[in-house]
Structure formats: C-alpha cells, structure tokens
Amino acid sequence: MRDGEVTRRRFLQSVGVSGGAGALFATMGALGLAPARAATPKFCPPHPSDFRLTGRAARKIVILGGGIAGLTAAYELGKAGYDCTVLEARDIAGGRNLTVRGGTAETDLDGHTQRASFSPGTYFNAGPARIAQWMVTLDYCRELGVPIQPFVNANADALIYNEGDGAPVRMRTAKADLYGYVSELLAKATDQGALDGRLTAEDRERLLSFLEDFGDIGPAHEYTGSSRRGFTAYPGAGENTGTPLPGPPSLSDVFASDVGRYLSFEFGYDQAMMMFQPVGGMDRIVTALTAAAGRQRVRLGARVLNVTGRASDVTVTYRQDGRDHAITADFCIATLPPHLMAKVPHNLGATVTAALAGFFPFAAGKIGLEYRNRWWENDLRIYGGATQTDLDIAQVWYPSHDFHARRGLLVGYYHFGPAAETYGALIPAERTARAVAQGVKIHGEKYRSELDSAFSVAWQRTPHLEAAWAYPPWDDSTGFRLLLQPAGRVYFAGDWLSQAVAWQHGAFLSARAAVTALHQRVLTS
Amino acid sequence: MRDGEVTRRRFLQSVGVSGGAGALFATMGALGLAPARAATPKFCPPHPSDFRLTGRAARKIVILGGGIAGLTAAYELGKAGYDCTVLEARDIAGGRNLTVRGGTAETDLDGHTQRASFSPGTYFNAGPARIAQWMVTLDYCRELGVPIQPFVNANADALIYNEGDGAPVRMRTAKADLYGYVSELLAKATDQGALDGRLTAEDRERLLSFLEDFGDIGPAHEYTGSSRRGFTAYPGAGENTGTPLPGPPSLSDVFASDVGRYLSFEFGYDQAMMMFQPVGGMDRIVTALTAAAGRQRVRLGARVLNVTGRASDVTVTYRQDGRDHAITADFCIATLPPHLMAKVPHNLGATVTAALAGFFPFAAGKIGLEYRNRWWENDLRIYGGATQTDLDIAQVWYPSHDFHARRGLLVGYYHFGPAAETYGALIPAERTARAVAQGVKIHGEKYRSELDSAFSVAWQRTPHLEAAWAYPPWDDSTGFRLLLQPAGRVYFAGDWLSQAVAWQHGAFLSARAAVTALHQRVLTS
C-alpha cells in the first residue's frame, strides 16, 4: 500500500473535496508526516473506583474550548469525579458543531450579522454533517442516547454538472457509461491476448465473466447502453417497457466530459455509505454531551486571556461578562484551534507557541437554502445525496430527512480553499445571490423562485474559530509530536491532533487520548 | 441497448437474486415478451367532476383481491364516487404486503401455524421491503401521508461470504480490490499500446487519469492496496495512522473468490441506492390505502367462488363466515394471482383461463430473526444493508431503522426458486434451525445464542397467494396481451400484468391502468 499517496489523496477527499484538487495545493500532504503506526489500546474511561480504590482524589481540571474535544474531555473525566470547568468564548457550546435554526444569530469577523429565519423544524448543519459507520462519533451517539438516521452521502439519482457539458447527468448514468466502456476496453484487450503475460487462462475467463456483468457489456463485449443508466420513463404497466434515456455518448465523449472524477468519492474509507446523522441536527450531540458533562461546568462567553503553568498547578485567566476571572486547576486541557491558541499569552515556552502556529488554518464555507417546496423530490425524484459540480459552489446537498415534508433545506455550497475565501469575502446576501445563480444553471429558475431564506457560514471569518479546520505542517512533524505531549500540566486536544482532521471523530479520539494520559498520570503520581 | 438481455438479467436481479443464476432457469426470459414500447400518458385519477360535469352516474365495482392492486383500484375509483367493494380471502388486507408483528399468526397450506412473538416495536416486512426513488409507490406514500425513511440496500461494511473462501470480506474491500486490479490491467494494456486502435491520444490520457483515481493505482499503474479496503483499526488520535487490513490478495485470488458477482446488484435501475421504506412497516401503506378507500368497502375472509359476466353487469359469488353471498356490479376488477384466478369458475371463456394459467408462480421465502442485541452494529459496525452469500440463505439483511436500539430483527434469508422450495418444505422450526446454522458460519455462535424468536414465510405455501409472484410465459405474449384487455366487464390487474413483476410499484401501475381504462369506458359509454 502506497500509504503516503493513498492516504494523502483520501485525506483531501475526506473533507468532501471531489475533483479540482487545484484548490487544495496549500494543504497537500498533511499526512506527509508519515507517522509511525502506533497500536492504540482500547479506551477505558476514567471510573469512580479508580479513585476510591487507590485512595487518591479527583483533581480539578480547566478545559479551554467547549467544542467536541473540550466537552468530551469534561464528560469522560467527569465519570471519575474530576472537577472540570470548560471555558468557551462563543455564546454557545459545540464549536464548529453548529446547527443553525430559526433565530440563530452569528456575527462574523467583518461585523456582518445574520439571523436565520428558517421555519420551525428546519435546520442547517453548518459544520460536521455526516458520520461514517466505524467512527467513534456513533459510539457517543449510542452512549448519550442521541438517535441517528442515515445521511445520504451517495445517491444514484443525484446529478453531475460540469458547466462545459451543458445538461446535468445523473450519477447512475455516468457510472453505467464509465463502467461499460472500461469493461468493454478491458474485455477487448483481454480477448486480443494483450494481457496473456499477466493472466492465466483461468484468470482470463473469470475476468471476462466479471466484466460482462460489471459493465453490462454482454457476450459481444460491447457497451451499447444499459438499463442501469436509468430511463426517461421507467418501465410501467402492461407492455410498457419504458423509454430509455438517450445515449450512451461515445467513449470519447464520456471521458472528455470528465464525469469520472466524481466517482471515487464514494469509495473512500471515510465517505463510503452507509453514513449517519443525528435526528434533529448535529448539535444534538453537543446538547447531550453538555448535559452529561454538567451544564453548570461550561462557562459561555468566556475568552481565555492567559495560561500560566506551574510545577503544581495551572492558572487560566479569562474574560466573561466584561470582567476578568482566574481559575487555578491541577491540570489544563487546551482544545482551542491551534492558530488561536498560539496567540494566547502563556508561559509554556516558545517551542509550544511555534508548534501551535505551525498549523495551517483552512477555509471552508457552507450555505443553507430553505425552499418552500421539495422540488428535488417531487420533480426530480432525488431523495438525498449530493450533486457534484465544477462550479465554485462545488456541490449541492439534498436533505437526508423529513422526506416528503412541505419544505426543505438544501446545502447550496460546501466548498474549500479559494472558493471558500471568495465567498467568505462577500457579505451574506451576496453569497446567497451568487450561490443561487450557480444553482439556477443546474436546476433552473425554481432554484431562485422557490427560495425562502438562507444562512451562510465562512468558518475562516467566524470569531473564536477562524478556520474550518487546521492541518499540521506537511514537512515536519516535530511540532505535531511536541503537542501530543503535555506542556507541563497543560494537555492539548482537538481533531487537529488526530489522523481525522476536519472530522468530529478526530476530536473525540484526541480528547480521549488526552484524558487517558492525564488520568494515567494522576493515578500513578 | 440489448433490451432483451439487459432487462432479463435485471429482471432476475430485481427480485434480489445475486449470482447463482442457476436457481432461476425456470423463470429466465420473463421479459422475452419483448413488448413494443408504448408511451404511457400521465395518470389522471378519476375525479367527482368527471361525473358531475357529464351527467353520468358513478358505477358499482366489485374488486377481487385486497392486495395493493385491489386496494389501489378501490381508492382511485373512489375518488370519483364509484361504489367499490373489495373481496379479500385472507383475514387481513394487503396480500403479500405483509408486516409481521408480535401476535401475527399465519397458517400455511401444510397446516403449520406460526404466531410471532416479536417484542413490541419489532416488525418483519415479509413481502415487499424496499422502494426505489422513482417508483410510484413513493407517490402513494406522499399522497397517503405515510412517512418514509431510507432502506439500506447497499452498505460498504456489509459482508460477502462465499463458503469456500473461509472468512467473510467486507463489500468495500472486495470493491477496492476488484476496481484496483481492473484499473491496473486496463492501464497496463493502455500503456502497452494494446488499445491504440480504439483510443485517441486524448482518450488514452483521460482514461489513464480516470483509472488512477478509480482503482487507486497511482502513477505506477499498480494496485498494491488502498485505504478504501478499510482497516483492521482505523486511523486514530495523534500519530496513529491505523492498522490496514491484511492484503490485498493476488489478482488471481480475487477473481477466483468470485466476490465480483455481488457487485453489479447495486447498479440496477431498480436496486441502486437510495431506496426507501415506510416508517414502522411496509403495511403502513396498506393501512393508509384501506382507510382512504374506505375500510367498510373491504370484506375480509371473503373467498371468491364464481364470476359470471353478462352484457350489462357482473355477478360475483363468494363465501364469507361460512355463508355464500352474491354481489352484482357494473364492472369487476380481478386482482387475484393469475394461477389462482385461473381456478375460479367463470364464464369469461377458455382463452382467459388459459392465459391466466400460463403464468409461472414462483417461490420465495423470508425469515425474520429477532435478536436480543444488535451485535451487528455494536460489534461489526454494520448499520443496515445486506450480507451476500453463496449459501442457501442467499443473504442476510440488517435492519435499516431503530439504529442503536436494544433489540433488532435480521432477515435471515431471502431466497428464491429451489432454495425457497427446500426451506418451504420444512416445518417452521426446522427452517429457523437451518437458517441459523448457515448464519453461524458467517457470524459465529452469537447468531444462535442471541436469537430470541423467528417467523418465516414461504409464499408458495401461503393460502390465497400460493406464490411470491408470477411471471408471464417467456415465449408467447398472447395471453399476457389478452389479459390487458377486459373480458367483457371484467378487468385484470396486478404486478403480474406489469413490467415490474414482484414490485408493489407494478401493482400500483397496473391498477391505475385498469382504473383508467374502466373510467374512460364509463365516461364514453
């Protein structure tokens, strides 16, 4: 396995990038750290008996940042009786796990305030939105009693739209044509003996049998279309065998249209279906985690001013309600974004600051568009999933829940890097106008006329976050490794200190690692 | 498009068959009818004003069979005020749309009675279970207010189990290996110039670029594995990049294992994700349809004895509660399974009887296995979807709903033809024992030890149905065509008179066609 190459590519795809990798040069190779593989023991949460049986006392912990990593640390340590306090600069907990509902207000770094006017029941997961089956996020949903439902991350009836190609094509059609021609070419090459050096007679026979089925090319080994492409009118009653879609295009046209670059997204280890979402909004996790950690432990609007570590404790000063406060604890877990933590005055040393500052904050944006009717279901028969485009909106997501409801919310863009910077530099109304104009190209005028309201996030312009996520430096793992160790009594945690940057999963895992290390230290000291 | 070939193969796959087509010789070519394509006008349901505006009166209709076709006919005709009576021989409406819950009792033709002891909330869709996005079934769900949720018809983390191969492999792993080797072979053939006669230089470049991504083979055009295969331990916190799965196997081993034959199932026009199910059980459609048609119009336990058509009306005699009754109506719509309708005495002519008797009843069986815990989610991280096997159980379905609930119900087999006949010939307890013994091969002893209770259906042994579905004769469309026309005042309808045999969708469409023809006749007579 070419780990570097494979993983790096997947890493970029993992953030939802499909094709157009040009946007991502800045972040390429975030996994070029080529870290050594370390076996991770199963996580054992701290437990009350850990202290009762050892005669030790639970300690006081101050946690910087009330995102998923911070809340998880408070929750897990709280299981053993640690006295945790979480300082969160924003007015709500959860960090990038932000679900926008009617009434949600956000003011960005440029002073633009948006207040969502979504209908009751409508929500927009502005941050994380999907959870793979194997991710620890699902374990927390189970443990915390947060119901889950499928998130549609791939849908054969969603569209591919490349501006130069004209009309959009359904994913199933592109897939049938690509697999058909690939199978035809390989079958013909095999028939002609081109692979005789590589294949035994048995291999050859099995390969051909596979290709006939895989590409639907029949015994003649020619792709001339397939019912898999879909129909203009599907087979019906009586003798109505349906109206096939026009096509297929020629082999040259299929490859020239570049629809193929959207296909591998759904193979990714972190993106392959099935995927899931909490019922009612991603922030159900935040709500449950906060309740489980203890609502009174989370101080909102509390901005960290200074961290001073000493041999025996840590003092954190912070500003809340216009007043400065200080809290002294046995340990600190710092989960602020690294580029922001780097700016917090502290006495942990210049190498820590440099390591934090070495991370690359990355831009991403998302817009929620509420429509008065679900035309994508009623007219287009698209029930969830994403349309992939080469436009600057990158993709359009159809909702994975409340199917057949009267209204619905699309994600009108989810994009990264330069496109996100461009949209983020616009005032919110201009973002909406631009996103809608792009969507009209795919979906026609109803994309504008049926729109009710919009809400957009530009994470890089969001106070106290200032990035969608942050990558470690690609060419030097020294800083990354430094921050995996405590700086005295200060531990670091966040998705940025995991192999799942930009995933909640990474924040959960990193918090668990910090909790494990800290608890082990307390138990053995 | 090789319609005959493509559609026939899809037709077989549409019933959930994957590989092992040997089981299906008897039914091959059901679409060999090669029917002419007929344009279908949009369905316009009968409307009260159709009569008010024409001065005509709504007529009396007797409908034989209270399955989806019969109920739909009653519902649609009822919209215009037709006086419909539905005669259903079974004790519940819905026909094969049967959802088994705790307390459901069924006695088969062999006299074996099963009474389900499933827990509250647990259900088993013994008949139809999945709905494609484009199917009219979803329109009825919308119109009737039946909430829907995703049905997981493909899951990268579900398994493939071929008995000869030993351990099961996840679908994602098989897919990565197959796509990897296919891409490698085609890229190498292309590199060697084997396809120069077929491809322009531009085609070649685009093809190679596609293959590098599609197969994850890198610029060296060699498949040596991929993160897409999945991990023994997924990438984690800090520098833990995870533990890759062992492998990949050699090209020869991958093709020899024949995992490839399970792949194309998810490309089918009727099986590709997304697919859906009603929340709470497929029979929610039956309940809603019955309520909308008028519960009092559906006579249960009413077995048809005779149909006598005349120039001006139709008389149907039936037995209910041990007594014989007669009903005379203006028209009749006969939706009984064709092989059973063929045995009902009537005066419609010998050609009608022959046409009905010409259909081929087909066997299929399903078993619901309720487990005390959801080990497939908790231990295997499989959230919905199906494991495909070459065992006589064919497949194991994991539930698509109530994720993370305490209990759950698997479909322990869904199989056809000879396998269904074999299991159907066993008494229910023996079916369970045999199915569980097969499942243990894949999932280990917990497949037996965690089992709570079971309920199986053998449709071919179910009274008043006596088949899972019925195919028209493959070599002569005369009878099929005859039944598309009314026999005097008797119309025929059912999935067996559609291009979607074995799908509720076909029953809905066929009923609509009969309703349209009948209503048109009434309006113009």
H or E segment and range at residue A340: helix A338-341
Average pLDDT over residues A436-459: 98
Kindly report the nearest CA distance between residue A213 and chain B, in angstroms. 7
In contact, A304 and A87? CB cutoff 8 Å: yes
Q: What is the pLDDT of residues A395-427, one digit of tens each?
A: 999 999 999 999 999 999 999 999 999 999 999
Tell me: pLDDT of A124 over 50.
Answer: yes
CA-angle at B40, arms to B37 and B46, nearest 5°:
155
- Given a cut of 80, whether residue A24 has pLDDT beyond it is no
CB of A345 within 8 Å of any CB in chain B?
A: no
Q: Which residues of chain A are within 8 Å of residue B135 when distances are taken between CB atoms?
A: 234
A143 inside 8 A of chain B by CB: no
CA of A16: how far to CAs of A268, B182, B290, B413, in Å? 10, 26, 45, 36
Burial class (CB in 10 A: 0-12, 13-18, 19+), B167: exposed
**A18 Cβ contact partners less than 8 Å away, ≥ 6 residues apart:** A261, A262, A265, A388, A394, A395
Q: Which helix (H) or strand (E) holds A417?
A: helix A417-424
- Look at B38 and A240 and tell me if their CB atoms are within 8 Å: yes
pLDDT at A413: 98
Scanning A284-303 for CB atoms below 8 A from B yields none
Query: What band does A40 get if pLDDT is binned at 50, 70 and 90?
Result: low
Residue-wise pLDDT for B453-467, tens only, equals: 999 999 999 999 999
Residues A154-180 have a mean pLDDT of 96
Q: Does A21 touch chain B (CB under 8 A)?
A: no
Contact B242 A148 (CB under 8 A): no
Average pLDDT, integer, range A351-369: 98
- Candidates A160, A224, A403, partner chain B, best to mutate (most B CBs within 10 A): A403
**In terms of DSSP bridges, do strands B83-87 and B60-64 run parallel, antiparallel, or are they unpaired?**
parallel
> Average pLDDT of B148-169?
95
Cβ–Cβ gap A202/B252 under 8 Å: yes
Contact (CB<8Å) A150/B147: no
- Examine the pLDDT at B276 and tell me if it is beyond 80: yes
Nearest Cβ partner for A185 among B152, B195, B230:
B195
Choose among A156, A178, A229: nearest Cβ to B273.
Answer: A156
Say if B196 is an interface residue toward chain A (CB within 8 Å). no
From chain B, pick out residues whose CB is under 8 angstroms from the CB of A264. 213-214, 216
Residues of B in contact with A3 (CB under 8 A): 241
* Cβ–Cβ under 8 Å, residues A68 and A507: yes
Q: Tell me the ipTM for this assembly.
A: 0.92
The per-residue pLDDT for A57 is 83
Dihedral sign of CA atoms A389, A393, A394, A400 in order:
negative
Distance CA A288, CA A284 (A): 6
Number of Cβ within a 10 Å radius of residue B407: 18
CA distance B370 to B171: 24
Contact A37 B240 (CB under 8 A): yes
Mutation test of the interface with chain A: which of B239, B254, B376, B397, choosing the one with the most A Cβ atoms within 10 A?
A: B239
| Residue B152 near chain A (CB below 8 Å) | yes
Give the A window 204-223 contacts with B, CB below 8 Å. Answer: 206-207, 210-211, 213-214, 216, 218
Residue with tokens 């995996």: A484
Q: Given CA atoms A445, A446, A452, A453 in this order, what sign does their dihedral have?
A: negative
Tell me the pairing of strands B490-492 and B331-334: parallel
Residue of chain B whose alpha carbon sits nearest to that of A515: B237
Q: Using CA atoms, how far apart are residues B3 and B118, in angstroms rounded to an integer?
A: 44
Instruction: Tell me the mean pLDDT in the region B319-348.
Output: 98
For residue A322, how many other CB atoms are within 10 A of its CB?
Answer: 6
* Per-residue pLDDT at A153 exceeds 50: yes
SS (H, E, C) B233-297: ECCCECCCCCEECCCCCCHHHHHHHCHHHHCHHHHCCCCCCCEEEECCCCHHHHHHHHHHHCHHH
The verdict on B346 touching A (C-beta cutoff 8 Å) is no
> What is the helix, strand, coil percentage profile of chain A, to 5?
35, 20, 40
B520: which residues sit within 8 A by CB, 6+ positions away?
Answer: none
Instruction: Characterize A199-213 residue by residue with b for buried, 16 or more Cβ atoms within 10 angstroms of its Cβ, and e for exposed.
Output: beeebbebbbebbbb
> What is the residue type of B220?
A
Beta-carbon separation of B238 and A38 below 8 A: yes
Query: What 3-state class would DSSP assign to A321?
Result: coil
Contacts of A498 in chain B (CB under 8 A): 235-238
Q: What is the pLDDT of residue B266?
A: 96
A499 contact residues in B (CB cutoff 8 A):
235-242
Dist CA B376 CA B398 (whole Å): 8
List B residues 448-507 in contact with A (Cβ-Cβ < 8 A): 477, 480-481, 484, 497-500, 506
Residue owning tokens 């295009």: A249
Contacts of A510 in chain B (CB under 8 A): 237-238
**Given a cut of 80, is residue A88 above it in pLDDT?**
yes
Which of B18, B42, B186, B397 to mutate against chain A (most A CBs within 10 Å)? Answer: B186
Number of cross-chain residue pairs from A and B with Cβ atoms under 8 Å apart:
354
In this prediction, residue A376 carries a pLDDT of: 98
Q: pTM here?
A: 0.92
- At A386-395, the pLDDT tens digits run 999 999 999 9
Q: Which of A3, A5, A133, A198 to mutate to test the interface with B (most CBs of B within 10 A)?
A: A133
Chain A CB within 8 Å of residue B139 CB:
no
3-state class (DSSP) for residue B18: coil
**CB contacts, 8 Å: B138 with chain A:** 381, 383, 404
Mean pLDDT of B98-118: 97
> Out of A103-107, A424-428, B3-7, B54-58, which region has the weakest mean confidence (pLDDT)?
B3-7
* Nearest one of A327, A333, A321 to A306, comparing CA atoms: A327
| Distances, alpha carbon A298 to alpha carbons A91, A93, A94, A330, in Å | 11, 8, 11, 18
B207 contacts A255? CB cut-off 8 A: yes
What b/e readout covers A392-421, taking b as 16+ CB neighbours within 10 angstroms? Answer: bbbbbbbbbbebbbebbbbbbbbbbbbbbb
Nearest to A418 by CA among A12, A10, A25: A25
- Residue A172 to residue B269, Cβ atoms within 8 A: yes
> What band does B14 get if pLDDT is binned at 50, 70 and 90?
very low
pLDDT tens, residue by residue, B277-308: 999 999 999 999 999 999 999 999 999 999 99
Give how far Cα B61 sits from Cα of A22, A309, A409, B41, B516, Å. 66, 86, 44, 24, 14
Contacts of B39 in chain A (CB under 8 A): 233, 240, 243
User: Mutate which of B136, B149, B159, B226 to disrupt the A interface (most A C-beta within 10 Å)?
Assistant: B226
Residue A510 is inside which H or E element, if any?
helix A504-524
Cβ of B156 and A273 within 8 Å? yes
pLDDT the model gives residue B23: 28
Beta strands (DSSP E) in A118-250 are 123-125, 131-132, 148-151, 159-161, 169-170, 231-233, 243-244
Altogether, the residues listed in chain A come to a count of: 525
- Greatest extent of chain A over all pairs of C-alpha atoms, in Å: 84
Nearest-neighbour CA in chain B from A371: distance (Å): 18
Residue A188 phi, psi dihedral angles, 5° rounding: -65, -45
pLDDT value of position B40:
58
Residues in chain A within 8 Å Cβ distance of B240: 35, 37-40, 499
| Per-residue pLDDT, B153 | 98
Q: Encode pLDDT of B465-507 as tens digits.
A: 999 999 999 899 999 999 999 999 999 999 999 999 999 999 9
Average pLDDT, chain B: 92
Does the beta-carbon distance from B157 to A141 stay under 8 Å? no
Question: Are the C-beta atoms of residues B134 and A381 closer than 8 Å to each other?
Answer: yes
- Strands A169-170 and A159-161 come out as antiparallel
pLDDT at B37 over 70: no
Q: Look-up: residue for tokens 């499942």?
A: B439
Q: Any CB–CB contact under 8 A between A152 and chain B?
A: yes
Reference A510, options A65, A150, A50, A60; nearest CA is A65
Interface mutation target, options A177, A186, A245, A491, chain B, most CBs of B under 10 Å? A186
Q: What percent of chain A has pLDDT over 70?
A: 92
What's the CA angle centered on A136, arms A132 and A139, to 5 degrees?
A: 105
pLDDT in tens, A270-285: 999 999 999 999 999 9
Chain A residues touching B273 at Cβ < 8 A? 154-156, 273
Instruction: Average the pLDDT over B28-45 and give the result.
Output: 50
B279–chain A Cβ distance below 8 A for any pair = no
Q: What is the DSSP letter of B25?
A: G
* Interface membership of A40 toward B (CB under 8 Å): yes
Average pLDDT, chain A: 92
> Angle, to 10 degrees, between the axis of helix B171-191 and the axis of helix B201-214?
150
